[in-house]
Amino acid sequence: MAQALESILENLAAVLGGLDQTVYTVSAVIGVAFVGRALFLMKHGERTGIALTTLALGVMLFSLKSLISAASLSLFEEEAGLLSQLAGIRNQGLLSPYIHFAVTIVVLVGILSILRGILKLHASATGHGESFWQGLTHLFAGILCVNIVTFARLFGQSAGGVVAELIEALF
* Cβ 78 vs Cβ 84: under 8 Å: yes
141 pLDDT higher than 90: yes
Q: Among 41-45, 73-77, 102-106, 113-117, whose mean pLDDT is lowest?
A: 73-77
Looking at residues 86-95, what average pLDDT do you find? 68
What pLDDT score does 91 carry? Answer: 62
What's the pTM? Answer: 0.80
Q: Residue 86 — very low, low, confident or very high, per pLDDT cuts 50/70/90?
A: low
Question: What does the buried/exposed string (b/e) look like for 35-55 if buried means 16 or more CB atoms within 10 Å of the residue's CB?
Answer: bebbeebeeeeeeeebbebbb
| Distance of alpha carbon 165 from alpha carbon 11, whole angstroms | 29
Chain segment 17-70, per-residue pLDDT in tens: 777 788 888 999 999 999 998 888 888 877 778 888 888 899 998 988 888 888
Domain boundaries defined on the chain: 2-19+64-170
Amino acid symbol at 137: T
Contact in structure between 57 and 122 (CB atoms under 8 Å) = yes
